[in-house]
Amino acid sequence: MFNRNSIIILAVAVAAGLGLVAGNQLFNRPAGEHAGNISSITWYNSPRELPDFNLAQSDGTRLIPGELRGHWTLVFLGFTSCPDVCPTTLLELAAAQQQWRTLPDSTRPRLLLVSVDPQRDTPARLGEYAHAFHPDTLAATGELPALEKFATSLGMVFARAEGENFANNPDDYSVDHSASLAVLDPQGRLAGLIRPPFNASAIAADLTELTRKTAP
């Protein structure tokens, strides 16, 4: 049985899908000189500036807009108790990270995991989880209002889905969340997205080409 939150998530996803169809002139077009032979990314017609955000990173520093500049960045929403989608995605992306590891650290693409389960995921716990897949993965979380604002700015959604025993066990819940990857350009703008299923080799090749094109 679907619970209320799951139904809401599905409704939002359907509405978002309809919005993309209706707004086709704004989405799914090449992003100028970045288009090239890129195969894994669905581009926005124009990169979108993100509103201010301030999240807690696993290393104790704050994640603010300036931290996401200078690199192509993939952003994934998830949480450490995620049973399948999150570990599968992070494992696939770790393979991509290994393939672009030879790029200079100053411009190397980055993967950012943002936990949408701040009740259970402290920054430290989240960092341990993310680094178990790949040591270069950035990890951040924050209070729910800040996370909701950040997710919305990326065109993503999430909501807690309570289990049957939630009334007696506050930990009996999961979190429904968008499964796509947001693609941020070196200016920290939302440039496009990558939809599942993910292909590590294609993602690695695309991010490597983009990095070489935009490197100073």
Helices (H), the chain: 4-22, 85-99, 123-133, 144-153, 200-214
Pairing state between β 73-78 and 190-194? unpaired
pTM assigned to the model: 0.85
177 known ligand binder: yes
What pLDDT is stored for residue 7 in this prediction?
Answer: 36
Q: Is 134 annotated as a binding residue?
A: no
CA distance 92 to 134: 11
- Parallel/antiparallel/unpaired status of strands 73-78 and 110-115: parallel
Is 86 annotated in some ligand binding site? yes
The per-residue pLDDT for 94 is: 98
- Return the SS3 of 19: helix
- Let me know the angle formed at the C-alpha of 118 by 196 and 55, rounded to the nearest 5 degrees: 85
User: % helix / strand / coil in the chain, to the nearest 5?
Assistant: 35, 20, 40
pLDDT one digit per residue (tens) for the chain, 216 residues = 323 444 344 444 434 443 433 333 344 444 445 656 899 999 999 999 999 999 999 999 999 999 999 999 999 999 999 999 999 999 999 999 999 999 999 999 999 999 999 999 999 999 999 999 999 999 999 999 999 999 999 999 999 999 999 999 999 999 999 999 999 999 999 999 999 999 999 999 999 999 999 988
- pLDDT for 36: 67
Q: Taking the domains of the chain in order of start, what are their residue ranges?
A: 1-30, 37-214
What is the architecture, at CATH level 2, of domain 37-214?
3-Layer(aba) Sandwich (3.40)
pLDDT reported for residue 124 = 96
The pLDDT score that the predictor gives to residue 33 is 55
- How much is the pLDDT for 216? 81
**Calpha distance 101→108 (Å, rounded):** 7
Q: What is the pLDDT of residues 180-208, one digit of tens each?
A: 999 999 999 999 999 999 999 999 999 99
Distance CA 4, CA 161 (A): 8
| pLDDT given for residue 115 in this prediction | 98
**Taking Cα atoms as reference points, which of 68, 34, 4 lies closest to residue 210?**
34
Cα torsion 77, 153, 17, 44: sign: negative
Q: How many CB atoms lie within 10 A of CB 44?
A: 19
